[in-house]
């Protein structure tokens, strides 16, 4: 038997020859032919009329995403009009028109959710849910599926919970978590705008606010299923013991992060140095702190290390930082002239503060040079300390070269006191 013989020609013939189905095919074709060009025209017209240039980063993202509603809205409206027209002439719509309407409705709902969030995980979950419901409704098995899920149940304590109840609880939980994410993001932005609240407390309030929303979401979802929350007391105790023994480091980092937020010893924007890592605090998370160095590397330092290790906070109480630059000059040079040239080089930099003023002192007479130390202040350590030290040293080098001031290097004089002639070795036999 050939592959052509396996094709259900009778079913295909029925689909084509059936007059009602041909009307539905024609209706869908008309909807597509009208919807596609109309969506294209309305999209570009609205974009030119209401949107600013693409390079305007201040334009709200939700307004740009709202343009994506045009196509599904037009398809939904036209399929609805097509269904109404078919029903006015007593023509069936269940085969093609109604499934197209269900898919358009799911598409519209998906794009509507996309206005409020750009999280791919949320969008994928919502897409599977919406288009799954549309498929079940199109095949006419949605009610049968719901009844089947209602029949399957299990005992949880004194409560009989069906699979449908469980799915409803999960759906409500996901919806509440999504809403909590939106509300938490808006609340966090509002908290960061409070003028008299330090940055560390802003982070703490934002985290507490998000945590409260998540806990409330779980409590409401469990309540909708009908579970007695008191039954989770023993489970919570067991989880607490497991956390105490198995997640000591995690709990330690969480508690350390809370301490850092409360005592405000380290906050976002501070310039710190810990175990050879120098950079500024980008953000404080529940478990770690993000530190970005001058070379663009982002170090994730556990909060516990910031508590137990020695941390140099360059901007804890004052952002002014004193930079020390050691210099050596030859004994033939005039130290007064060298000191003035060093001060001129430091003051020539735009980053050097005039108050406190720069100073250059003689620190000692070394074996090979007169030892000087240039000290000056900056108020922007986040922009780097090594680069300003290099800039000042380059200026000192140019000025010393111009004035003929030498920078010595270690030298040793070797004096031969006595030279004893080598003894003649006996000739070999």
Higher per-residue confidence, 222 vs 94: 222
pLDDT higher than 60, residue 54? no
Furthest CA-CA distance within the chain:
134
Predicted TM-score (pTM) of the model is 0.45
Assigned token pair, 420? 């004893």
Place of tokens 């007479």: 365
10 Å Cβ neighbour count for 35? 20
- The pLDDT, as a whole number, for residue 342 is 92
Are 337 and 380 spatial neighbours (Cβ–Cβ below 8 Å)?
no
Q: What does the pLDDT average to over 50-73?
A: 65
Mean pLDDT (whole number) for 279-290: 81
Domains of the chain: 20-140 (no CATH), 255-313 (2.30.30.60), 321-403 (3.30.70.100)
Determine which of 77-91, 186-200, 268-282 has the lowest per-residue pLDDT on average: 186-200
Q: Cα 134 to the chain's mean position, in Å? A: 34
Statement: residue 55 has pLDDT above 50: no
Q: State the DSSP string of 121-132.
A: HHHHHHHHHHHH
Mean pLDDT of the chain: 77
Confidence tier at 57 by pLDDT (50, 70, 90): very low
How far does CA 245 lie from the centroid of its chain?
31
pLDDT above 70: residue 411 = no
Q: Check if the beta carbon of residue 330 is closer than 8 Å to that of residue 369.
A: yes
The rounded distance, in Å, linking the Cα atoms of 142 and 164 is: 12
The pLDDT of residue 242: 63
Percentage, residues of the chain above pLDDT 90: 4
């Amino acid at each position: 038997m050939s592959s052509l013989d396996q094709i259900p020609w009778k079913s295909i013939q029925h689909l084509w020859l059936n007059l009602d189905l041909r009307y539905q095919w024609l209706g869908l074709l008309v909807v597509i032919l009208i919807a596609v060009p109309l969506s294209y025209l309305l999209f570009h017209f609205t974009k030119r009329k209401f949107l600013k240039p693409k390079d305007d980063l201040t334009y709200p993202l939700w307004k740009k995403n709202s343009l994506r509603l045009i196509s599904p809205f037009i398809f939904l409206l036209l399929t609805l009009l097509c269904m109404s027209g078919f029903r006015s002439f007593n023509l069936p719509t269940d085969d093609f028109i109604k499934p197209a309407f269900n898919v358009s409705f799911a598409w519209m709902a998906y794009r509507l959710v996309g206005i409020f969030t750009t999280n791919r995980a949320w969008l994928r979950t919502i897409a599977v849910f919406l288009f799954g419901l549309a498929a079940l409704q199109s095949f006419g098995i949605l009610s049968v599926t719901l009844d089947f899920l209602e029949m399957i149940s299990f005992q949880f304590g004194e409560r009989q919970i069906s699979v449908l109840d469980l799915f409803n609880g999960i759906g409500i939980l996901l919806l509440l978590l999504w809403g909590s994410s939106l509300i938490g993001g808006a609340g966090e932005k509002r908290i960061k705008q409070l003028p008299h609240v330090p940055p560390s407390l802003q982070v703490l309030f934002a985290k507490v606010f998000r945590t409260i929303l998540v806990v409330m979401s779980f409590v409401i979802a469990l309540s909708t299923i009908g579970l007695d929350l008191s039954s989770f007391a023993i489970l919570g105790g067991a989880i607490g013991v497991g956390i105490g023994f198995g997640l000591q480091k995690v709990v330690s980092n969480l508690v350390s992060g809370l301490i850092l937020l409360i005592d405000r010893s380290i906050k976002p924007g501070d310039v710190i140095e810990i175990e050879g890592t120098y950079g500024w605090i980008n953000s404080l998370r529940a478990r770690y702190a993000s530190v970005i160095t001058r070379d663009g590397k982002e170090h994730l330092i556990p909060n516990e290390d910031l508590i137990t290790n020695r941390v140099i906070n360059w901007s804890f109480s004052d952002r002014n930082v004193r930079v020390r630059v050691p210099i050596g000059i030859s004994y033939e040079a005039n130290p007064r002239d060298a000191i003035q040239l060093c001060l001129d080089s430091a003051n020539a930099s735009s980053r050097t503060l005039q108050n406190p003023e720069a100073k250059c002192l003689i620190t000692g007479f070394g074996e090979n040079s007169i030892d000087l130390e240039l000290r000056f202040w900056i108020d922007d350590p986040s922009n780097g300390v090594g680069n300003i030290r290099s800039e000042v040293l380059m200026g000192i080098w140019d000025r010393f070269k111009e004035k003929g001031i030498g920078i010595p290097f270690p030298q040793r004089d070797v004096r031969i006191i006595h030279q004893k002639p080598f003894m003649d070795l006996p000739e070999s036999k």
